[in-house]
Structures are given as structure tokens and as C-alpha cells.
Amino acid sequence: MIDQSLSALSEALAAGTLSSVDATKACLERVRATDARVGAFLRIDEAGALAAARASDARKHKLSPLDGVPVALKDMILTAGVETTAGSKMLAGFIPPHDATVTARLKAAGAVILGKTNLDEFAMGSSTESSAFQKTHNPYALERTPGGSSGGSAAAVAARQCFGTLGTDTGGSIRQPAALCNVVGLKPTWGRVSRSGVVAFASSLDQVGPFGRTVRDAAMLLQAISGRDPHDATSADLAVPDFTAALERGVKGLKVGLPREYFVEGMDPEIAAAIREAAKTLEAAGAQVKELSLPHTKHALAVYYVIAPAEASSNLARYDGVRFGHRTKDAKQLIELYERSREEGFGPEVKRRIMLGTFALSAGYHDAYYVKAQRVRTLIRRDFDEAFASVDVILSATSPTCAWPLGEKIDDPLAMYLMDVLTLPCSLAGLPGLSVPAAKSSKGLPIGAQLIGRPFDEATILRAARALERERDLVSWIPTP
């Protein structure tokens, strides 16, 4: 049962050939059997999950295709009555009084929420090693990283612990772990999905999105969580299309761009070869492939690491030991309370980014760093606008390397930041991006292909991803953690 895709389970539940309780118990048993080695979950809500499963089985009419399907949520997403920590000691013990909008929408669709998955602290990281509570391991190679920051969500799907998950993507935190764990991960257009009830990192970049074993699985999850939310003024007031309707249309006539700048120095040659092979696959299926240039790509890393830390510095100022978060004991003065609470509550990477962001926003440096970074961000967006005047989809690698050994980069922040070099431009431009399994390396490690689309055109990148998925058949490659 656990090797089925979300969409296959959905059909079986609708037909009555499987029960949600049996599917949920199978997932819980799989977690018990594997998570000591994988470390994907921070907490399991077994009682809540089984109650939701029983309620699903008792319904005469399914609420949606997700009714009765066991899923999990990144621990940045609020869940009423279930601890939400953002992977940080700062929020340890925090029990939200309400659900995030995406949580509420999954529950309204009848989905069974198993629990909360591990992440880099406050989603700041690329390896899920900066979590305050545990490391997550890649199910395909347990001594290696699953990627980050949504590494727990990607690993849970890859390890067959649940049928789908939600993560958040600020600079690549869905797409990069999806590539490293051989699953599909989709970052929607900024504004497609509500951020209400999601712990904030960088508000102009954060976006919630799905992980699935297949492209159809990701499309089904995206369908459930998309749409305007009155609780989030930045959510787009646009109709939500049927994301599964065009999946099987193929790519005949589709124009695919291959950006020269995305074949970066230091990229694993096997990954570069896999992406060129993916381009040939799309071409053989009827797409037109052309090389193009996105000239400001080289500035994306620097721009991101000014803007994102600046927004993090502002967002995380609320965790002061008075209004929100961990509170130190026995502080004698208010300034001591602030300093000790933040010192004890935040980990090294979060402190590093708060300091970077505070510096970039400080008097005398604001114009030189933050304002200039925003101007270059506009140039990056214009590069994409010009490219999409002649192509429908942009194809690249998702990550410049395959999964690396745990511990290899944790003490080298720059080396870690470089792992997001191919996903950052899409985030800065607010565009939809998707990672789909593309190949297997000579070391037996997953390689992902990234597809980037026009604003609010998730349907086209899903369609192109499905065309690659059909030819690659990497869905049947199942790890044994």
C-alpha cells in the first residue's frame, strides 16, 4: 500500500477498495520502522490522524480527491493544538491556537495530517542540519543530506512514510530537497498560495508548496491549497485552474529555453549531461528547445543574501522573550532579557542571517546594500520577462551537485549558500518553479531537473514535468532506508 502514489491511493479510497484507516496505519507503521534512521518527523499526531481517517471512512461522499489521504506538514505551518517550532528552540512548546490557511484547506479537503516534518531552523539552510532538534538523512543514502530547508518533508515522501507533504520555499527550499530525494517538489508563484499561519522568514519570497511522488500528486495537493485568502493580503485574487487537466497533453509545440548561465562553474558534469539529455527528451516529444541568456543570473546569490536576511531580521525581531518565543530565566533588566532570550533561543545560522540583515538595513548601508539589491532584483525579473516572450518554459538543473555527505558543508556557510545558486533567481522573480526526477548518478544518487514558468502558469510546468516523468520512470526507484 505505501508504495502507491497519492493519486492511486485516492482512486482506491474513492472506489472503496482501501480504507483511510488502513492507509494511515500503514504510514504510521512505516514511520515507526524507518524514522529512527531517516529523521523526517519532529512529531506524529497519531490520535488526530486516526480520528481523521475514521471520519473519512464514515463519509458516504468524498469531500475531495484528497479525502482520507495521509499527508504531513513542514513544521513552519501552524496546526491547531499540535506543537509548531519552526525547528527552533525559540518556539519549543508553542501550541498554535488556530490552523494555517493551508492546514485548514487540507482538513476541509478531508486529508489526514500525520504530523510535522523536520527543517532547517526557521527555514534557514540547505541541508536540514541546522534544526535545533535533529538531523534528517536522505533515504537514498543515509549518510547524505536530504537537502533543505524542507528536507524532512522531502525525505518523508521519498521514504514512503506518507503520500504527500507541504513545505515552504524561500530560495529553493522545496525544489532543492525534491531533487536530492527523487521526488517532485513545486514552488508556486508568489501569491498563488496563502501564507497566513506560516512562520515568516522572508515575506517577499516565502511560498508554501507541495511534495509528491509523482507530478499528478503534486498537482492534486496544489489544487487543494491554492486560491485567494482574505487573511493574506498578498494572496492573488485569481481563479484556480484545474492543475491536472492538461497533464497528459504532452509538449508538442511547447517552446523550452535552456539558459546558458545555469550551467555554472563547479557543476557536477553528470548533472549537466542529465539536463541536456532531458532537453533532448522534450525535443523528441515535440517541444522546441533553444538556448537563451539570463544575464543577471550571476548576481542572484548576492542579491538574495541581502534581501532575505534583511527581511528575516525584521520578521524575527518579534522573538524577544516578551511577546513571542523562548524567555530566559532570572534576567534582571529588560535589555538582559532580550539579549539572553535571543542568544539561547536562536541557533548559529539564524543569528548569522539576523546580523547580515540588520547590517544591510542599518543607517549608512541601507542604500548601498538593500536598495541596490532590490534594483538588481528588478533586472533579474526583467531577464525572465524577456525570456518568456520567446519560450513557454525554462529548463535547468535544480542543484549543481547531488546530495553531499552530512557535515561536509555545515561549517562553511558560503559553500552551503552556493547549493541554492540555481533556484534563487526564480524565487527573486516570484515565478513558479518545479523539480522533477531526471536521472540517477553513477553513485546511485538522484538528479532533479528544474522547470520555471510564467507567473501563475503552474499548469504548463506541470505538463512539461509530466512529459519528462513519462520517459524517465524514476517513480519506481524506491529507497530502502
Beta bridge partners of 450: 396, 435
Give every CB contact of residue 325 below 8 A, 6+ residues apart in sequence.
90, 91, 94, 318, 319, 341, 345
Q: Judge whether 175 lies within some domain.
A: yes
Enter the C-alpha cell of residue 159: 521514504
Q: Looking at residue 133, what is its pLDDT?
A: 98
Give the CA diameter of the chain.
71
* Residue 188 · residue 210 · CB < 8 Å: no
Domain that holds residue 112: 6-254+433-472
Separation CA 258–CA 275 (nearest Å): 9
Q: Judge whether 139 lies within some domain.
A: yes
Residues belonging to the active site = 74, 149, 173
Is the whole model's pTM more than 0.85, yes or no?
A: yes
Q: Judge whether 11 lies within some domain.
A: yes
Closest CA to 388 of 202, 197, 189: 189
Closest CA to 289 of 455, 449, 473: 449
CATH number for the domain that contains residue 60? 3.90.1300.10
Q: Give the strand pairing for 255-259 and 288-292.
A: parallel
| H or E stretch covering 178 | helix 175-180
User: From the DSSP assignment, how many helices (H) and strands (E) are in the chain?
Assistant: 15, 11
Q: Judge whether 104 lies within some domain.
A: yes
Q: Looking at residue 481, what is its pLDDT?
A: 86
State which amino acid sits at residue 20: S
Torsion of CA 405, 410, 412, 417, to 10 degrees: 90
Separation CA 83–CA 93 (nearest Å): 6
Q: Judge whether 355 lies within some domain.
A: no
Q: Judge whether 132 lies within some domain.
A: yes
Enter the C-alpha cell of residue 196: 497566513
* Residue 283 · residue 275 · CB < 8 Å: no
Q: Looking at residue 18, what is its pLDDT?
A: 97
Q: What total number of domains does the chain contain? A: 1
Q: Looking at residue 473, what is its pLDDT?
A: 87
Q: Looking at residue 323, what is its pLDDT?
A: 82
* Residue 219 · residue 465 · CB < 8 Å: no
Q: Give the strand pairing for 446-453 and 433-440.
A: antiparallel
In order along its 481 residues, the chain shows pLDDT tens digits of 999 999 999 999 999 999 999 999 999 999 999 999 999 999 999 999 999 999 999 999 999 999 999 999 999 999 999 999 999 999 999 999 999 999 999 999 999 999 999 999 999 999 999 999 999 999 999 999 999 999 999 999 999 999 999 999 999 999 999 999 999 999 999 999 999 999 999 999 999 999 999 999 999 999 999 999 999 999 999 999 999 999 999 999 999 999 999 999 999 999 999 999 999 999 999 999 999 999 999 999 999 999 999 999 999 999 999 987 999 998 999 999 999 999 999 999 999 999 999 999 998 899 999 999 999 999 999 999 999 999 999 999 999 999 999 999 999 999 999 999 999 999 999 999 999 999 999 999 999 999 999 999 999 999 999 999 999 889 999 998 8
* Residue 51 · residue 81 · CB < 8 Å: no
Q: Looking at residue 288, what is its pLDDT?
A: 98
* Residue 185 · residue 210 · CB < 8 Å: yes
List helix spans (H) across 190-346. Answer: 215-225, 269-284, 300-315, 334-345
Q: What is the rounded radius of gyration, in angstroms, for the C-alpha atoms of the chain?
A: 21
* Residue 376 · residue 303 · CB < 8 Å: yes
Q: Judge whether 329 lies within some domain.
A: no
Closest CA to 433 of 467, 384, 374: 384
Written as one string, the DSSP assignment of 396-445 is: EES-SS-PPBTTSSTT-HHHHHGGGTTTHHHHHTT--EEEEEEEE-TTS-
Separation CA 208–CA 174 (nearest Å): 9
Enter the C-alpha cell of residue 61: 461522499
Q: Is 402 left (phi over 0), alpha (psi -120 to 50) or beta?
A: beta
Between the CA of residue 49 and those of 84, 165, 209, 436, what are the distances in Å?
A: 16, 14, 21, 29
Q: Judge whether 260 lies within some domain.
A: no
